[in-house]
């Protein structure tokens, strides 16, 4: 399915909307370095790395996840 889709990764830098990137410190599926690369491509992004959290932070660390989202939305 991905082979037939447009190359969206090449267009990430076109996203101008404020974006919150949340990464779990212990994510073995999408490492923090991948989130840092995404952050570098997004012109209006902020990265929050949740300590002692894995790939599904909204379930593994719900309080930290919700706090990060609430703080970001309050700006």
The residues carrying an active-site annotation are 55
In this structure, what token pair is assigned to residue 57? Answer: 């932070």
What is the distance between the alpha carbons of residues 48 and 64, in angstroms, rounded to a whole number? 10
What is the distance between the alpha carbons of residues 9 and 2, in angstroms, rounded to a whole number? 11
């Amino acid at each position: 399915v991905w082979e037939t889709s447009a190359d969206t990764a090449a267009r990430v830098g076109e996203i101008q909307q404020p974006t919150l990137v949340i990464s779990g410190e212990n994510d073995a599926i999408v490492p923090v370095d991948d989130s840092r690369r995404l952050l570098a491509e997004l012109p209006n992004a902020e990265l929050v790395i949740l300590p002692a959290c894995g790939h599904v932070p909204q379930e593994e660390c719900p309080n930290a996840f919700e706090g990060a989202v609430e703080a970001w939305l309050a700006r």
